[in-house]
Structure 1
Amino acid sequence: MRRIPDASISLILTDPPYHSTKKSNISGDKSFQTDRHFLDWLSQYCSEWKRILKPNGALYCFCSSEMAARIEVIVAQSFNVLSNIVWTKPNDPGFDGWKQKMKKESLRQWYAHSERIVFAEPASEGNLHRSYFGNELRRLRLKAGLSGHKLTEMTGAYGAVNHGGAVSNWETGRNIPSREQFQRISEAILSTGNIDFFPSYEDVIRPFNVHSRIEYTDVWSFPSVRPYLGKHPAEKPSEMLEHIIESSSFRGDIILDCFSGSGNTSLAALKMGRRTIGIDIEEKWAVSLAQKIDVIARFTPFRIQEVEVAL
């Protein structure tokens, strides 16, 4: 990841070792002597994620229900944690791990039949909600020589409650403008002649495309991947990965999975018109992903510009 330039990744969608599961067939899952050792290791990744993620990018980090709260605290040091998503894995009997085999009364706690996904955005200090767009709007407004009231007047973005209108809410990070409002803001600020460039919507607004016909709450019910020959032990369902990519990136964006495993994140990204970087410590999974991408390039209309396997 240290080879990746600053602020170049639009979406980090990744699945680190869980540590709490202690599975021998997952590289790194048994590498940590204590929870603190694991969290210190993961915090180094958080620092790199913050560096390489665009200011309007998004992070989705899979983790176990046991470690989720502590991981969220680590992530919150550099990011705004937006959701702690519960993935319920509603599998049929026989495909639900140890759920049917476990002696329930011996657990002394509720059986962990879900995983967590920490969803976050880069934090930008300087306003109430640590909003990157809020800081940028204020900087550009002041450079243009406009007061908040004047910009409100020029855009017609009056608020029902506060006299500053929507502009003050945008600058504190409470919410964001629509595309139409964003266009009016751009035209108003550029019309002053004091600045000659205003960034595009895609460069400053974090994408989040959801509606009522898809999973839009923080409880998701995607079935896990059923066993098959050559399956990665921590493989995530393509449908869920596609859902994340569609919701939190634009076409042409770069998607990073730095614990690539099966490579499903990269395959989903290519399928949906994004670019992708997949990294894995095990050579067999890196080579497997390159082979899968080669098949896609030969037998589908996807245009694969470059495939690099660095070992």
Structure 2
Amino acid sequence: MPGTTDEASAAGYRPLLFSIAYGMTGSVGDAEDIVQDAFLGWTRAQRAGTEIAAPKAYLTTAVTRLGINHLSSARVRRETYVGDWLPEPVVVTSDGPGTGPAEHAELADSLSMAFLVLLESLSPVERAVFVLREVFGYGYPDVAEIVGKTEANCRQIFARARRRIASGRQARDSAPSPARRVEGEEFARRFFEAAEGGDMEALLGMLAPDVVFHGDGGGKARAVGKPVAEARRVVKLLVGGLRRVRILGATLRPARVNGRPGFVIYDAEGRVVSVVGLDIADGVVRSIHSVANPDKLGHIGPVSDLTRMPEK
């Protein structure tokens, strides 16, 4: 069958394509749909007799342009979003990946929750150029061909995008090395022990003074309505929230959330309540992101109704 070998080979690009689409959209489901649409287009082109000399370049271009189109419509929806909008988390627990192929999570390590939030300030084309260049290391000639701009224009777009998110640069961290990952997991273990034990002083020593807690319930689950700043306020929020978790019979399971330390909260029946990720830099927690919106948790497993808001 013509193209069979090429199709098998092209399937190996899926993890990379997923991470590009996820970097563009911040949504696991939308990223998977975009990758699937790109492959469908590639298959149709082959069946129509179109010779594709470079499948990787063809698919990367398709995914990026589909992502740009998606963002143009998604921006309108996010303007009416209830509360803080956070990305859908890419989760890996001790039991294995929670979002499909493990490679998805590995390649998404460069896309922390904090970094994805910063990318929301960019236009769709700026985001595409910045993600391709900054995260995936594409050269300007390749970026220009993918987004359909001149190389000089892409250089200008990248510089503009970098300036726009410069104020939040400390939240952008490279993918953790194995050693840093182990160190981060040990820090997270001590952090969660202190939080569950209600040790406020220990927690204060682990939080940056200007730490910010972000919660995303999307109007469908109970969550903080706006970011909570300042270490003592965040400590009270954490300790109080975890105390309620224990009373309701829920449990915490350590996890990697977008390549960073975090945990998943499960109810007594083992259904997902929320996902919490920590952004750690210089030995302290800089920000905390908690996703409770049930629409953003279904790719991890069955979703709990423990914190679900009553329908109006």
* TM-score for the superposition, normalised by structure 2: 0.26
* TM-score for the superposition, normalised by structure 1: 0.26
- Which structure dedicates a bigger proportion of its chain to helix? 2
Bigger Rg, structure 1 or 2: 1
